[in-house]
Every structure is written in structure tokens, then in C-alpha cells.
Structure 1
């Protein structure tokens, strides 16, 4: 991943001066490196900038150091069309520079210490589109291991912050409904671009082709999976449909392990959490975030044993946060959340088919680092051959079948 030529000392100095409101800043040294491993960047390029600079404080010159993240919209590659036509990067710039600061201010003004995301230092809407963000690594935050999946402690910490995110969006919507409703197109929308519409049935087809070689599954399941891709996106749109009479929030839209960071105590227990990557945030039912999370992020023991506990924790945190924020909107009951999860369950199934294989696959072990840099559809096809994915799916697919979720007529139940 080559460093953009424009990302140099002069440009970083200009951005720091604007962010810090201090024209005395002078950059003396800049180091730029990829912020994530090859093969992990799906729709953006991330760079970590280590900057040494001087400034004038109280009449004397002082030297300081800072680490920031620069996130750059991709220019080429297999997902560029999807990102460009769906305006993913524009959505994130709007979220980071406008909406999230307002949500954060609502939380802070009501005495809530929760933080939702990294601080946004700068955005550029013209090409090359990019963001300058706080480096959460400096504050002690780390990514969890997506292949191991999240244990119960991680899940509960994440759900508490997701509840506060949703509650803050409700409070913001009560002040300015358009501020949240303007994010009006999720990944499942009849007006989405062809690249998105074709993505999910294509991944279901990849799964069906691989499962055909799994003798541990019944022929009936293999036959159902072979038929499932036809009309799948339309049924996904039904499952994700915005209903004005529902309890709706601004969703994160992409709640999986790689889009959150945790901070730990001295016993390595997660105690704090931040969200990353707001490129497909949209106004919808909050259960879509829950279903996305369940499809992609907990380890399999948590999936089997603690699903209801996690939902209860989310609901309790949402109810508490909405009360603290003095929301006039009536919050959903636990029974309503549970019923909505059941009715929209196909959404989870589709994400399990399309995102979970990527979450569980060790791309670097299957291909060279050079190949990983040029991520493509064939690499995704390899992910369906992962042993860990196969182990999880041979347990989950019979469960989905028993619930009728592999039947081709299923949508919003």
C-alpha cells in the first residue's frame, strides 16, 4: 500500500494548524505507515502518521509528538465501484464531522462519560477524499481478534456502548429528525447500486457451492442453499425494511469485530469501547445492528449460550440511557426487541453467509502478502473453505433450517 504523495509534512502541518487552531505549529518530522495489515482494508486505505512538531506556548517554543490516523477513500480495486456508487465515504465524513459530534455532545451534556468514536480532526470532501482521525491506539484501545470472536465480557461492553449510540441518536432525532433520517439507505435498499445488489446473492452462491462438498450436512440443507441465492437480496430488503411505526434509530450499520476497539484493565478485561467505520450508517430498526453483531462477532460458545443475556443487557442499557437523556420517545420493551429479532432474522442469516467467512478466515495464511494487498473476489471465495467457518456453519445451518430461514419465501416474518 503506497503512501500518497500529497500526504507530506507540509500538508500535515496545515491540517494540524487548523485542528489545533494554532498557526505556530511547525512539523519537523513525519513518519507514515499502513495502519492495518495487508488484506484487512476493504473499502478504505488507513495510514498511521507519527508527527514531531514545535509550537509556541506562553511565549516559548515547545516540542510535541502526535499520532493520527488518515483514512483515504480507495481509488481502484474490486470494491471501489460499490464504495463510490453507494457513497460510503461521504456517509462516513458526514457522520464523523457532523452527526457523531452532536450525539457525543448530547451524552456529555447529560453527564454520561461514554465516548462513541475517535475524534475527527479534519475532512476533505474533494478528491482525494480523506479523514484525519484521533489515533485510539495512543489511548490504549486495541482491536480484538476477529478469528477468535468476542467472549461474553467483550460482547457486553460493546452492547452497552451500542445502546448509548442508539439512545443518543433518538435524543438527536427529537431535536432534529432530519439529522438522523438523512442517512436513508442501508445496504439492503431497492435503490442500491448493482454492485451491492449482486454482492449478497453472490456470496450465498459461494456458500452453496462449498457446502455441496460437506457430507456432514443433510442433502436437504444443501439443496435449499443451492436455491437460496435467487431473490435473496429482495428478501433481505424486506427483512431490513424501515417501518415508520417501529422504534427506529440511527444504526451503525456495520457492527462487527473489526469495526470496534476495546480498552482493557490490568487484568486484561475490556472496560471501554469505541466504534470505527461509519460508512453504512442508516436510519432503521436497532435490531439490525444486533443481528449484524450476532452474525459476525461473538465466539461460537457465546452464540450458543448467551444470546438472550446479551439482548437483555442491550435493552437494559438502552432503557437506562434514554431515561438519562430524558428522551420523550417511548423505548421498546424487551419483548418487542425479541419479537423484532425473530421477524427480521433473515438479515442475520444473510450476514452470516457473507461477512462471517471473512471474519473467521486467515487470509495471510492462504495467500502471499503481495496478493493480499490486491484484495479481490477470489480471496473471498477462499474464505468459504476455512476450517473454522465450516465448523461454525455445520452447527448453525441446521438451526437456521429448523427455523424456516433457508426457505426461499422467507423475508420479514
Structure 2
């Protein structure tokens, strides 16, 4: 039997979890655990199960733990809440109108009274990879068909969150909104380290413009970066006057899993990482997905992709009985322009890291560039020296300038 560093993750716990969902369960013959994401308390587990009739079956699972309040890991607690409460509630909204929609890997069982040291609960998920789902990201990003599929699932998620919030009692809506007011992923790192991160990434990007044959942008970007913090404060993710939703918050190509039929046609899309969900404008998710997956050879289809999302969003809002005015396509474009600073941060700080991480499921930006509370400077240098990234920036940066994304 495999041993793991966490004393609470043992055969006794796994037996309790499996007894909840495995018919004819007798005992665990063997199991193997591997860290999937230590910072988010996530493990990949392969278990050999003996049934009451003597037969053996193998199951592949993902276990996510819910840390105690003493541990500064609100991302993990937020993700636990998403899996146990909200995604089932969103899926039930669609079930009531006879539409089968799945947003995440299936919850097999969960245990909320563990109270073992720093862990107070855990959840066992069916590993979607064992069911034929896979990560479709590549150094070329996602192709148009995969982007459209991700946008449609994102629109369904956003629509469900808007309906869930607006159709509930006011007190419940307020509690729901406050729980996801802001993303907390950066709280695991000291503020000084985050400031150092931003300074280093800004410098590497501006220096890189010389090697990208874009020297003419250096002074403009240097001036623009100085005004960026003020612009970010003026347009917080949540504005009560806008149409707002629960954001997925991790819309990088790596954080979507796809399944296919026998002919290679996409059947379904799942989300794999709910740690950064927050309440805010859908423009945040749209810019993140389109500017990290829709690379230079597809950037001309940006407006088309926005319309694909908007059409699907309105279709689902109507289907679910949304009780307010539907967001307009014009309004969506205006709010995208409002968050232009976020679009710049995506291509400047996130895209170079994502381009070295294609194929890595459950991608977390900080974990790629911060190691043992220090910046991973070797990785950062490699990211900004990537010839593929230089090629993308040579097309995307002028495109952003022409859309007014670089105005101070």
C-alpha cells in the first residue's frame, strides 16, 4: 500500500468515501496517491477496489481537501464550496428546464467532519481524465472550434450564476455575492513578493520588446504600465450598475477539459479549477480566455467570438427565466473596453507563462512563477525569451493599440 505525507489521507478515510458511492464495496486492495496541486490541497488517487462478489475494479479519483480556518487557503475553501454547493445548484437549474449540463468533474462523495489537524473536510471527485476527457491546449492555443465550445460552456455557467443570484431571496443573494466578492489567490503570497513579481514581469516584457522587433512600443508601454494601477482601481471587477456573474476566474486554455465522440467531434467541456471564482463582469473571463487561447492567427475573430458568447448567454438566460433585462452585445463590448487594463495584463504577464504550460491541467499562474516563496527567475526568463511569444506579441500588441486598449 502506498504511503503519503498527509497522515489523514489513509485507507480508513478512503474507505468511508468509497462506501458512499461504490455499490457492493468490500475493501480497498491497494491505492496510490500523488500530489496534484499541493497549494490547493488536491491529490490524484488510483484505487484498486475489491467488491463483495470478489471482483476487482480500479477507480481514478481526484481528492480535494477543505482546510481549517487557521490555514490561509480561502482558495481551497472556495473551491470546496463550488463543488459541494454551487455547481450542483447550477446544474439543477438546467435540469428543471430539461437540459443536461455538467460544469465539473462528478462529485462521488464528501466528508465534512474530518477535523484532522489542518483539514476539516474533503471531497472525492471522479477523475474526468479516466472518462476520456483531455486537455486540448497546445503551443498554438486552442483552435476556433475548441474556443467556441469553451465560450458556450462559460456562457451557460455565467447565466446560471446570474439566475441563481437574482431569483433568490435578497439576503441569500447578498451572502452569495459577498462570498465571491474578490479573488483571494494572491493572499497565499506576501505583498512584497507580489510587488517584486509585477516589477520583474513588467521589466522583462519591456526589455523583450527590443528582441520582438518592437522597439517603437517601449516608451509607450513603459508609460502605460505606470498608469495601470490607477486604472485598475478605477474599474474594480464588481460594479453594481453592470451585468455581473460568478466568474470562473481561471479561463486559461489549460483549465478546460474536452470529451469527444468517435468522430472527434467535441461532446462536452468541463471546468477543472474553481479556486479563483469571484463576482464581477463577464468581460474578465472573456478577455482571459480569448487573449490566452485566441492567438495571433485567430485574433481577427475576436468580435465573432464575443458574439458567440453573447448569443449563448442570452439563450441560457431566457431558458432559465432570468427576471431582469438581458445584457446587450453593445454593452458587452463597452464593458470589455472598460477592462482594457486586464486585457493588457493577460498578454503581458499571463500569456508568456501559459505558453510554456500548455497541456498542464489546473494551471495556476503564481505556482508557475513562484517557488518556495521566491520568484522562479529561470522560468520567467524562458517565458519571455520564447520565440513563439515574440511572434504572438508582434500581432496582438498592435491589435490592442488599434482597439484603444493601450490608452492611458
**SS of the residue aligned with 1:296?**
helix
Instruction: Check conservation: 2:254, 2:358, Cα contact below 8 A.
Output: no
- Corresponding residue of 1:183: 180
The within-5 A match list for 1:218-297 is: 218-219=215-216, 221-297=217-293
Q: Which moved more, 1:287-296 or 1:231-240?
A: 231-240
Matches within 5 A, 1:13-412: 13-17=15-19, 19-20=20-21, 25-33=26-34, 43-44=39-40, 46-56=42-52, 63-71=56-64, 87-120=74-107, 121-122=109-110, 127-128=118-119, 131-173=123-165, 174-175=167-168, 176-177=172-173, 178-186=175-183, 194=191, 196=194, 199-214=197-212, 216-219=213-216, 221-304=217-300, 306-361=301-356, 376-378=375-377, 379-407=379-407, 409=408
Report the alpha carbon displacement of residue 47 of structure 1 after superposing the two structures with TM: 3.4
Per-residue deviation, 1:94:
1.6
- My pick for the range that moved more, 292-301 or 272-281, is 292-301
> 8 Å contact 1:207–1:384 — kept in the other structure?
yes
Asked whether the 8 Å contact 1:181–1:250 carries over to 2, the reply is: no
Which consecutive residues of structure 1, in runs of 5 or more, have no partner in the other structure? 36-40, 75-83, 365-370
Q: Secondary structure at the match of 1:268?
A: coil
C-alpha distance in structure 2 between counterparts of 1:362 and 1:257, whole Å:
10
SS at the partner of 1:250?
A: strand
| Equivalent in the alignment of 1:81 | none
What do you get for the CA RMSD once the two structures are aligned? 3.3
- Structure 1 pair 218/136, CA: closer, same or farther in 2 (3 Å)? same
Whether the 8 Å CA contact 1:116–1:165 is kept in 2: the answer is yes
Whether the 8 Å contact between 2:62 and 2:126 is mirrored in structure 1 is yes
Secondary structure at the residue paired with 1:274? strand
Question: Are the counterparts in 2 of residues 69 and 135 from structure 1 also a CA contact under 8 Å?
Answer: yes
CA contact (8 A) 2:253 2:292 kept: yes
Q: Give the Å deviation of 1:143.
A: 0.5
- In the alignment, which residue of structure 2 is the partner of 1:80? none
Say if 2:257 and 2:271, in contact at 8 Å, map to a contact too. yes
Aligned partners of 1:55, 1:179: CA distance in 2, in Å? 41
CA deviations 1:309-342 (Å, max 9, x no partner) are 2111111111111111111122201111122112
Do the aligned partners of 2:50 and 2:57 also contact (CA within 8 Å) in 1? yes
Would the aligned equivalents of 1:250 and 1:283 in 2 still touch at CA under 8 Å? yes
Using structure 2 for the length normalisation, give the TM-score. Answer: 0.82
* 1:270–1:196 Cα change, 3 Å: farther
Q: Which residue of 2 aligns with 1:8?
A: 10
User: Alignment partner of 1:51: what SS?
Assistant: strand
Structure 2: unaligned runs, 5 residues or longer: 360-367
CA distance 1:4–1:238, change in 2 (3 Å): farther
1:15 to partner: Cα distance: 2.4
2: CA distance, partners of 1:239 / 1:395: 27
**Residue 235 of structure 1, CA deviation:** 2.2
Q: Distance in 2 between matches of 1:310 and 1:347?
A: 18
CA deviation vs aligned residue, 1:172-214 (integer Å, no higher than 9, x gap): 1022413244200136999x97255664454223211322444
CA, structure 1 residues 384+3, in 2 after alignment: closer, same or farther (shift >3 Å)? farther
- Give the whole-Å Cα distance in 1 for the aligned partners of 2:81 and 2:354: 27
Pair 303,72 (structure 1): closer, same or farther in 2 beyond 3 Å? farther
SS of aligned partner of 2:294: coil
SS of the residue aligned with 2:129? coil
- TM-score w.r.t. the length of structure 1 is 0.81
In 2, the alpha carbon distance for the partners of 1:53 and 1:302 equals: 47
Aligned equivalents of 2:356, 2:186: Cα separation in 1: 28
Secondary structure of the residue aligned to 1:271 is strand
